[in-house]
Amino acid sequence: MLSFLQSVLQIILVVFLLLITSFAQTNNLIAYYPFNGNADDESGNGNHGAVMGAVLTEDRFGNPNSAYGFDGVDDHIAYPTLLGSSPTALTTAAWFKAMQTDDEGKILYHGDNGEFQLISIGDTAVGAVHLPSNWYFMYATTMPNNWHFLVGVWKQGESYLLYLDGNLVDSISVPNEPLLDVGPTYQPSIGSYNRTVGTYFWGYIDDIRIYDRALTVNEIDSLFNEGTTSVQQIDAGVPNEFSLNQNYPNPFNPSTKIEFSIPQTSLVTLELFNALGESVGLLVSQELTTGTYNYSWSAEYLPSGVYFYQLKAGEFIQTKKMILMK
């Protein structure tokens, strides 16, 4: 009887994992580099980057070892070819802070099986896709030495759109042509063009995402505001003890709320981990006064699966499980 029950549980687990894999595929996130201490791809597709000279540094929130700095000379991060077959839509997104220079710096470059890139030149950010008939470029005005969020959205036969800091800043119609395959000589790279040629980026890069679909305006806005949602105090009374509640709703898609209580002023961190125990996001990192708090969070950028959220406050540490089902 016991072995029968074990077999049933194993079957249920296998079916659950298959469902999770199926849900993950609908997200179409083919590469995600949050740079949380390394250049690993957190999309689940294993497209990990190889760091060549770039150095871990603070991200836009001041979190240490959460972005990479590039020297503009030869620093770059090599990553694999992402497109097995030519997609009919593509979204490229990255946070960057460029230093004041008139030299062209590649934030993101991809050539094999489809050529596209994000670029910074002085006070201008550029998104570009290469189709058989021509290059198609979009432009945005930026402020050097400031963090910006750049997103390019291409739909075959329709349009190419460029967003800066959540706002649509440029658009152009494009012909019904696929991305041009320029061959394996043009290898994908973060911070440089083809890894070994000039136009190296000088500054900081973080949170690169590449989808083989077109993100919506709401999705882009959600990514731009990710991590900036303030923690709301819902009760200023003094709790009896530290506590972390189960997120609600759970399972969820894609938004949920996490409530926690702290009985004394503390440096609070709320961190998210995947099923392998790898950090995929620091949701909260700030000093909070006594009270009960609510944090609203959207997992739009993550694939379906089991995740764990951990609260640290003083010597208190507690972890709970959540399930994202898209």
On whether both 186 and 90 belong to a single domain, the answer is yes
Domain count, the chain: 2
Q: Note the pLDDT of residue 228.
A: 62
Domain span including residue 173: 28-224
In a domain, 135, yes or no: yes
pLDDT 10s digits, 6-50? 554 454 443 444 443 333 334 688 999 999 899 999 888 999 999
CA distance 120 to 139: 10
Q: Report residue 212 as tokens.
A: 């083989």
CA distance 77 to 198: 14
On whether both 47 and 160 belong to a single domain, the answer is yes
On whether both 63 and 164 belong to a single domain, the answer is yes
CATH of the domain at 197: 2.60.120.200
pLDDT 10s digits, 54-90? 999 999 888 889 999 999 999 999 999 998 777 999 9
On whether both 33 and 131 belong to a single domain, the answer is yes
In a domain, 1, yes or no: no
Q: Note the pLDDT of residue 79.
A: 95
CATH of the domain at 293: 2.60.40.2550
On whether both 218 and 236 belong to a single domain, the answer is no
Which of 198, 224, 250 lies at the terminal end of a domain, its last residue? 224
Could you tell me the pLDDT band of residue 230, with boundaries at 50, 70 and 90?
low
Looking at per-residue pLDDT, the higher value among 256 and 5 belongs to: 256
On whether both 58 and 192 belong to a single domain, the answer is yes
On whether both 57 and 186 belong to a single domain, the answer is yes
In a domain, 14, yes or no: no
On whether both 266 and 200 belong to a single domain, the answer is no
Residues facing residue 306 across a β-bridge = 323
What residues have CB less than 8 Å from 266, skipping those under 6 apart? 287, 288, 313, 314, 316
